[in-house]
Amino acid sequence: DTGVSQDPRHKITKRGQNVTFRCDPISEHNRLYWYRQTLGQGPEFLTYFQNEAQLEKSRLLSDRFSAERPKGSFSTLEIQRTEQGDSAMYLCASSRKGGGETQYFGPGTRLLVL
Q: Which residues bind another protein (CB under 8 A)?
A: 31, 33, 35, 40-45, 48, 50, 55-56, 91, 93, 95, 98, 100-108
Q: Which is nearer to another protein, 17 or 38 (CB)?
A: 38
Cβ at position 83, least distance to another protein in Å: 23
Distance CA 41, CA 110 (A): 15
Laid out side by side, the sheet with 75-79 consists of 5-7, 19-24, 75-79, 65-68
Whichever of 39 and 84 has its CB closer to another protein, that residue is 39
C-alpha pair distances (Å), 90 with each of 33, 46, 65, 79, 97: 11, 10, 12, 11, 22
Q: How far is the CB of 9 from another protein (least distance, A)?
A: 11
- Neighbour tally for 6: CB within 10 Å: 20
**Which lies closer to another protein via its Cβ, residue 70 or residue 98?**
98
Compute, in degrees rounded to 10, the torsion defined by CA atoms 22, 49, 70, 43: -10
Please, what is the minimum distance in Å from the beta carbon of residue 110 to another protein? 9
Query: Residue 14 or 34: which CB sits closer to another protein?
Result: 34
Q: How far is the CB of 89 from another protein (least distance, A)?
A: 9
